[in-house]
Amino acid sequence: MMGTRTYSAKPGEVERRWYVVNAQGKVLGRLATEVASVLRGKRKPQFTPHVDTGDFVIVVNAEKVRLTGKKLVQKIYYRASGYPGGLKATPAGAMLKKHPERVIQHAVRGMLPKTKLGDALYRKLKVYAGEKHPHRAQNPVTLEVG
């Protein structure tokens, strides 16, 4: 018996688009889930779990993203130097002041698969603290989120 075959996207036949997301006044987690979904390609009909079907996302105004509650003081980002006692802790407020891009990158990265595919998806994310970005030539489309 011949049945209908499930469509599976091939890496070469995926059409990639560029989107710009303005983070100004947006809540961090809600923004990150939308961005992760676009990077993964879950909004496309040809989504295939094991193939990178996603689009490029440029996030601007990262410094103006919102954190709810007491997260600016209580949320802590950790990183380790690899040496004994080399654990460094940075509150979200300090991270937002010094490296606003990293706050969004960290949130989105945590929502992507922890595999080689996840690494490939993460490379399609471009985050900028201010309004300007160097990707005008890609003719990005503005994407409204949350």
Cα separation, 127 vs 103, in Å, equals 10
pLDDT in tens, 16-70: 999 999 999 999 999 999 999 999 999 999 999 999 999 999 999 999 999 999 9
1 has pLDDT over 70: no
Token output for 9: 């996207």
Does 3 score more than 80 pLDDT?
A: no
Kind plus residue range of the DSSP H or E element containing 134? none
- pLDDT computed for residue 119 by the predictor: 97
Record the pTM: 0.91
**Predicted pLDDT of residue 4:** 86
Query: Given this model, what pLDDT does residue 35 score?
Result: 97
pLDDT, position 62:
96
User: Which domains, from first to last, does the chain contain?
Assistant: 16-66+98-142 (3.90.1180.10)
